[in-house]
Chain A
Amino acid sequence: MKKFSSLLHNLILTPSRNTKIKLLQDYFKILDINRAYALAILSDQLSFQFIKASKLRELVYEQVDQHLFDYSYDYVGDLAETISLIWPTNKEGKSQNLSTLIENIKKIKKSEINIEFSKVLSELSNNERWTLIKICTGGLRIGVSERLVKTALADLYNKSVNEIEEIWHGLEFPYENLFQWLKNETSKPKIDFKKLFHPMMLANPIDEEKDFKRLDANEFQAEYKWDGIRVQLMVSSNSVSLYSRTGDNISSAFPEIIETTKGDAVIDGELLVGGNFKPSGFNDLQQRLNRKKASKDLQKKFPVFIRAYDILFYKEKDLRKLSLVERRKYLEKFQNENTTNQIDLSAIINFSTWGELTKYKNNFYDDLNEGVMIKLKNSEYLPGRKKGYWYKWKKNPKLVDAILMYAQRGHGKRSSYYSDFTFGVWKENELVPIGKAYSGYTDKELLVLDKFIRNNTTNKFGPVREVKKEIILEVAFDDVFPSTRHKSGVAMRFPRIHRIRWDKPINEVLSIKEFKKEFKID
């Protein structure tokens, strides 16, 4: 545990990619079972059923005064770090094996979690405790991607990282077959590719100035970019399953798709809510997300369908090395054979110049798509965000000027800065908040805002500071919906700070009435 926690400590503090790779490789040179645990943790595949963030808070409140914890958490901005530092006992010395520690924690009964897990936390040093809590809460955020871990392993054993990538989703803890193959003791693990989640092909944002000059419009095709959730649908004669972009099996939440789809293929598409293949917006989709099951009622009220973009396998055929145009033929074939009404195909937009495409990007269907995708006609299906094949071209965001009202310290790399901003518009002579944003500004703007907030606080509510109503933020957002949960009656999708409007006086900001009218909210 000591060794692994100092690995994480060093990884988080090392800016250099090469040093990170070297640190990982030094660790993976150990030959015992601990490296399998490390690999599982670094690729976010290990978690404890009963110990999540809320449980950890409960445990720390048993140890320290709640207010003192909250002040500290507000300051640090990272739950794992706050708990590890504030925990009253620190024991350096008897360090446990990473594998033993994890197996012991797994054995703890649910009814004894509070006592037993607290005991575990008390027997660790600060850094080990930080590591363990990071493991519990998942998502290490230490600046090491899964890809980097794979790269480190590949380089260490002279393999190509793509080879690891290909079999990755078919591997299971403790990865014996992987390590044996890496050391050339066995051949590459045999994986039944068709049953496996395949990392999706992703697009890079287009650089309008550079890319359109450089790229030949004739070599590309375009489709609308739909604002749902990206899914992979695996259909075979005996089973159908649906995976999210991150490879989570989400079949049980969408039974209507699972029950009705027939055929033999692996499909890449967008899951959308709406009847008769008319998407009704992200707000409706949200009613179906993050649910384990969907009642008949919900299925009726918020019907879902898949808009298919691509096909990876057709029957026994691996299509991934074919061109997009070739794959499209197979996709159409699959669609013709699949008689249900849960899947339709993403339409292909015909255009001959980039200028022509602009009108599709901005106007089509008004709000229901996010822009267009531009795909190289002869692109293979490649996992990850490879450059030069697929591009996304988003609509211009909606913009509104709003007044900065409250601020809070940020988390993670923005901790210590006042970087979470609540902004509002007028309602008669008062301001009413319409949203909260914690991105979009430049580093310089953040410093200016942070300083303004420290010097112009008029009131404090716990960690939240109310500030003088002087700063106007131009907020960009993807969409806005009516909401009963917010005082203003509106909820924004993905608001971010576009710029600071130094030039505009605060009385020129819209009223909530005008805001609703402008963005068509009843």
Chain B
Amino acid sequence: MDFINHQLFIKDINVHIDPILPKKTAIITHGHADHARFGHDHVIATRQTIEIMKIRYGDKCAKKFTSLRYGQKYSIKSFDFTLYPAGHILGSAQVLIEKNNHRLVITGDYKVGKDETCKNFKLVKCDTLITEATFGLPIFQHPDPKDEIQKLIRSVKINKNNCHIVGAYALGKAQRVMNLLRQQKYNETIYIHGSLEKLCQYYSKEKINIGKFEKVSSKDKSFYEGKIIIAPPSALKDRWSRRFPNPIICMASGWMTVKQRAKQQGIELPLIISDHSDWNELLDTIKKSKAKNILITHGQEDALVYYCKKQNLVSKPLSIQGRSDEEIE
């Protein structure tokens, strides 16, 4: 595994995984802004990740694109690359790198739990595992998202004169919330912040069931009473949210596990819905991967490093610049 450095850079063939700055060849695990950036020469990713990048940054956000199917091998010199589903968001992938019989997996962001908005996580056995650790503390044990979305539906039923604004990241989480609402038979039109529109349209086109949605417009205030509105978290504190009648501020995120965090952010109805693995899923994946060498990237890595060492696994934190904890989508 010496062939890759702490910046996820393979020097021998000049290939980066999820680089922050423009590079020659970049393998992109998924479309979130802290992983997919503008301006690489050559982007290698799943078809959906490439299409999402084009929606967000324009068709010319890279000079050349190579799209890979899940499981399709792609070789550069003596390195073989294969993408596997990561279950994080639409198009998200883990990267398997094979070199001289050594198998290294970079999980990217991943979740093990079921999700109708993307292909579900596939476990890939390997020698070295580079795992994320966004929720790498034992306090994070995500509840069933169905129960969480029921909380929202119940609150909408009880508070008929309020509107519910749900903070959710524009890519992935927003559509997952919409899909979960549909699974729980919420069939009303869902109203969305303008910045979500193109991505929602894309999810619909990809046949993800997010139901009927409509962009918020300057209608009469009372129109939005009893409605659900989905907006990026940044809009919750913005002037934008003041146009709605008695809004109840909700947020769909794994961080909502901690009441103090919810309170700090002024969230009245926290919904613990995460697109990352929780503590037990992280441990389980480490175990089942059979990897003997564990590298842990952004998040709460200390506890996970400690745990792995106790299991006699070689383990270190891997600090990737440009990503600090708690700013991750």
**Which A residues are within 8 Å of any B CB, using their own CB?**
9, 12-15, 64-65, 67-69, 71-72, 75-78, 81-82, 85-86, 90, 130, 412-413, 415-416, 454
Interface residues of B in 267-322 (CB under 8 A from A): 267-270, 300, 302-303, 306-307, 310
B219 to chain A, nearest CB (A): 25
Which of B27-35, B122-130, B136-144, B235-243 lies on the face that meets chain A? B136-144
Question: Do A416 and B138 touch (CB < 8 A)?
Answer: no
**Which B residues are within 8 Å of any A CB, using their own CB?**
137-141, 257-264, 266-270, 300, 302-303, 306-307, 310, 324, 326
Question: Do A85 and B268 touch (CB < 8 A)?
Answer: no
Question: Do B259 and A416 touch (CB < 8 A)?
Answer: no
Question: Do B268 and A81 touch (CB < 8 A)?
Answer: no
Question: Do B139 and A12 touch (CB < 8 A)?
Answer: no
Question: Do A71 and B300 touch (CB < 8 A)?
Answer: yes
Chain A minimum-CB-distance residue to B257: A85
Question: Do A68 and B306 touch (CB < 8 A)?
Answer: yes
Question: Do B269 and A13 touch (CB < 8 A)?
Answer: yes
* With A15-B268, A413-B264, A416-B264 as contacts: A72 and B259 at CB distance below 8 Å: no
Chain A minimum-CB-distance residue to B140: A85
* With A13-B267, A15-B266 as contacts: A78 and B138 at CB distance below 8 Å: no
Residue of A72, A78, A90 touching B303 (CB-CB under 8 A): A72
Chain A minimum-CB-distance residue to B139: A85
Besides the known contacts A12-B259, A76-B139, A85-B257, 5 further A-B residue pairs in the complex with CB atoms under 8 A apart: A13-B262, A71-B303, A75-B137, A85-B140, A416-B260
A382 to B171 Cα, complex, angstroms: 57
A18 to chain B, nearest CB (A): 12
26 chain-A/chain-B pairs, Cβ below 8 angstroms: A9-B259, A12-B263, A13-B259, A13-B267, A14-B268, A15-B268, A68-B306, A68-B307, A71-B137, A71-B303, A72-B137, A72-B138, A75-B137, A75-B300, A76-B258, A77-B260, A81-B258, A85-B141, A85-B257, A85-B258, A86-B139, A130-B259, A412-B260, A415-B258, A415-B261, A416-B326
* With A81-B260, A416-B261 as contacts: A13 and B306 at CB distance below 8 Å: no
Residues of chain A contacted by B267 (CB below 8 angstroms): 13
Residues of chain A contacted by B310 (CB below 8 angstroms): 65
Question: Do A413 and B263 touch (CB < 8 A)?
Answer: yes
Chain A minimum-CB-distance residue to B264: A413
A121 to chain B, nearest CB (A): 15
B160 to chain A, nearest CB (A): 15
A78 to B302 Cα, complex, angstroms: 19
A156 to B264 Cα, complex, angstroms: 30
Residues of chain A contacted by B137 (CB below 8 angstroms): 68, 71-72, 75
Question: Do B306 and A67 touch (CB < 8 A)?
Answer: yes
Residue of B140, B260, B269 touching A413 (CB-CB under 8 A): B260
Residues of chain B contacted by A9 (CB below 8 angstroms): 259
Which of B260, B300, B310 has the largest number of chain A CB atoms within 10 A?
B260
Question: Do B260 and A415 touch (CB < 8 A)?
Answer: yes
A69 to B140 Cα, complex, angstroms: 12
Question: Do B268 and A13 touch (CB < 8 A)?
Answer: yes
Chain A minimum-CB-distance residue to B258: A76
B273 to chain A, nearest CB (A): 16
A15 to B237 Cα, complex, angstroms: 14
Question: Do A68 and B303 touch (CB < 8 A)?
Answer: yes
* With A72-B303, A75-B300 as contacts: A86 and B263 at CB distance below 8 Å: no
* With A67-B306, A71-B300, A81-B258 as contacts: A13 and B263 at CB distance below 8 Å: yes
B250 to chain A, nearest CB (A): 10
B274 to chain A, nearest CB (A): 14
A14 to B155 Cα, complex, angstroms: 14
Chain A minimum-CB-distance residue to B303: A71
Question: Do A82 and B139 touch (CB < 8 A)?
Answer: yes
Residues of chain B contacted by A82 (CB below 8 angstroms): 139
Chain B minimum-CB-distance residue to A69: B138
Chain B minimum-CB-distance residue to A455: B324
A81 to B270 Cα, complex, angstroms: 15
Residues of chain B contacted by A13 (CB below 8 angstroms): 259, 262-263, 267-270
Chain B minimum-CB-distance residue to A80: B259
Residues of chain A contacted by B268 (CB below 8 angstroms): 13-15
A73 to chain B, nearest CB (A): 9
A432 to chain B, nearest CB (A): 28
Residues of chain B contacted by A412 (CB below 8 angstroms): 260
B269 to chain A, nearest CB (A): 7
Chain B minimum-CB-distance residue to A76: B258
Residue of A14, A15, A75, A90 touching B139 (CB-CB under 8 A): A75
A454 to B323 Cα, complex, angstroms: 11
A323 to B188 Cα, complex, angstroms: 65
A85 to B260 Cα, complex, angstroms: 12
A130 to B260 Cα, complex, angstroms: 12
B193 to chain A, nearest CB (A): 22
A60 to chain B, nearest CB (A): 11
Question: Do A78 and B260 touch (CB < 8 A)?
Answer: yes
6 pairs of A and B residues whose beta carbons are closest in the complex: A85-B139, A71-B303, A72-B139, A415-B260, A72-B137, A86-B139
A17 to B326 Cα, complex, angstroms: 30
A458 to chain B, nearest CB (A): 14
Residues of chain A contacted by B264 (CB below 8 angstroms): 413, 415-416
Residue of B138, B260, B266 touching A68 (CB-CB under 8 A): B138
Residues of chain B contacted by A416 (CB below 8 angstroms): 260-261, 264, 326
A85 to B272 Cα, complex, angstroms: 13
A90 to B12 Cα, complex, angstroms: 50
Residues of chain A contacted by B258 (CB below 8 angstroms): 76, 81, 85, 415
Which of B261, B267, B303 has the largest number of chain A CB atoms within 10 A?
B303
Chain A minimum-CB-distance residue to B267: A13
A90 to B147 Cα, complex, angstroms: 15
